[in-house]
Each structure stands twice: as C-alpha cells, then as structure tokens.
Structure 1
Amino acid sequence: MRAMSADHSFVAEAMKQAVPWVGTSGVEFVEVTGDRVVAGLPDDPATHNHVAGPHAAMIFGLGETASGAVVMAAFAPHMAKATPLVARSEITYRKLALGPLRAEAVLGRPAGEVVAELEAGSRPEFPVTVTVANAEGVTTAEMVVVWTLRPHRA
C-alpha cells in the first residue's frame, strides 16, 4: 500500500547531502513515494564504456541510489534509531544500455513490518528490487539490493 499523503520532497536533496556521489553522478529523482522511486541517469560521454553506453559502474550506481532513496523515503522517521546499510546486492545485465536510463526501485517488504522488527530489537533485512530501462522502456538491467537497518547503540 502506498503512502499517498506523505511528503517525500526532501529525499532528493537529502540523498545529495548524505551521499556526495549522488550529486556528482548526474542521477536525478523523477518520482519518490514511500515505497517506490524512479531515478534517471542522463547520457554523458564522460561516463561511457568501450561500447558507447553508460559504464556498468554508473548503471549499478543508478540502481543502488534509487534503492537508497526508497529506503530514505520509507524509513526517514526512524533514522534516529538506526542507520540504513546495504547488506548485499546482485545485478543482472539484460541488454546493452545506451543513452539515458531510468531505474525504478520498489521496497520489497512493508515498511511497518521492517520497523516492527527493528523495535523488537533485531536488525531487519529487506530487499529493494530495481529495474533499469532505456529511453524506449526496454529493461537493460535488474537488481536486488538487500538493505538492513543497523540499530544505534545507546
């Protein structure tokens, strides 16, 4: 269920402040909700690989950044209690990526369920699935980024 009434306008700027790479990479935030983010990566020859498309590091960075924005949107009210960290990730490159890209990241578990585990004293893990597509909407890569919320110790 989407949190339609929540204001997530802070996420783009907060991501740039928290993760300086976001500001220098060219990643743009197109849509942000409490459980879904769409981020874009403009075509930039300075970040190309040997076949004139975005380097794999840029594609991975776009997907991971979109997943982090979902985490920030979903769990911002709980950041005083825990730090979000990537536990592991996997990416599958499906098609040659050329031109501008868009990544859609979707929270894989309800935020309330994850917060309940955190409040019960555990270190929850949760997946964020990411689909990267080219300007024509063709999927070029798919990712799963597994995040954890590391509780702050008093």
Structure 2
Amino acid sequence: MTESKTSLADWLTATVPMVRTLNLEYLETGADRAVLRLPDQPEYHNHVGGPHAGAMFALAESASGAVVLGAFGDQLSRAVPLPVTAQIHFRKLAKGPVTATATLGRPAADVIAELDAGGRPEFEIAVAIQREDGAVTGEMTVVWTLRPNS
C-alpha cells in the first residue's frame, strides 16, 4: 500500500465510526478501485451464522465511499460527496470473512468536467461482495453525487 493509500484508510478509520464498529479493514484504496474486508465476527452474525445483511451493506457502502474519496478527494473544497441511492442483491450465503471490491463506473475526468460546468454530477460505484473462496455472495450499486458547496 502506498503512503497516500495508507493515509486515506487511516483517515476513514478515524472519521467514520461504523468502520471502527465493524472492524473493517482497508486492503486497497485508489482512484478507481477499493477493497475492504469484514472479519468474521460472531457479534455481527445473522440467524444462519454468516455476516448480517446490515454489516454487508455497511461494508459495501464503505468500499464505495473509499473509491469516491480516492477519485474525488481533491474536490472536497468545492463539493461534498453524498450517496444518492444504493441497491444490494444477495446472491449466495456468506460465511466467514467477506471482502467488498468497489469500482468506479465512470471516468473521474468526466465527473469533474460536469462539476466544472456547474452541474451536480452523479456516478455509479459497483461493488462485489465475496467469500474467501471467491464466490460472489452479493452485489451492490451505489449512485453518488458531488454536491457543489453553497
């Protein structure tokens, strides 16, 4: 992990209480991709012994937010990133630790150009949630916006 990636992960861990509550681990952060891990923790299990749906939602949304800050952190002086909508699909039973891999769905330069033109750009982040064996247990799409500061 590079210095800037470490700084982003440290900053998010320090400023987002849910990250600390769930003990989320930042495995990779960047401008177009982030990977976070939710350790296997019995206190966050559901009725079938896997991670609770709420914990997996928080994991995936946190991964999407890491991509947003990786891609647009240099725009924070003029715009606030906010999630607009999120949709999650649970595909298979999750057991044990799971990872969420989030990917920016639109070139960052296009989003910034729209912001430069006075718009309030929206963009998707796709997230895959996987078990340790590689099976995709869930997929999430989060639509984010950069809301210009008043």
Q: TM-score, normalised by structure 2?
A: 0.95
Unmatched 5+ stretches in structure 2: none
Which whole-Å CA distance do the structure 2 matches of 1:11 and 1:106 have between them? Answer: 16
Are 1:6 and 1:34, in contact at CA under 8 Å, matched by a contact in 2? no
One-letter code aligned to 1:81: R
Identity in percent = 48
Residues 6 and 73 of structure 1, relative CA distance in 2, 3 Å threshold: farther
Query: Could you tell me which residue of structure 1 aligns to residue 130 of structure 2?
Result: 133
Query: Could you tell me which residue of structure 2 aligns to residue 47 of structure 1?
Result: 44
One-letter code aligned to 2:96: G
Residues 6 and 46 of structure 1, relative CA distance in 2, 3 Å threshold: closer
Query: Could you tell me which residue of structure 2 aligns to residue 74 of structure 1?
Result: 71
Matched, 1:147 2:125: no
Are 2:23 and 2:39, in contact at CA under 8 Å, matched by a contact in 1? yes
Residues 6 and 113 of structure 1, relative CA distance in 2, 3 Å threshold: farther
Where has structure 1 moved over 2 Å in runs of 4 or more?
A: 5-9
2:19 corresponds, among 15, 18, 22, to: 22
Query: Could you tell me which residue of structure 2 aligns to residue 90 of structure 1?
Result: 87
Are 2:36 and 2:101, in contact at CA under 8 Å, matched by a contact in 1? yes
Query: Could you tell me which residue of structure 2 aligns to residue 122 of structure 1?
Result: 119
1:6: Cα distance to partner?
9.1
Q: TM-score, normalised by structure 1?
A: 0.93
One-letter code aligned to 1:83: V
Matched, 1:100 2:85: no
Residues 92 and 64 of structure 1, relative CA distance in 2, 3 Å threshold: same
- RMSD over aligned CA atoms reads 1.3
- The total of aligned residue pairs comes to 149
Residues 6 and 121 of structure 1, relative CA distance in 2, 3 Å threshold: farther
Unmatched 5+ stretches in structure 1: none
1:20: Cα distance to partner?
1.5
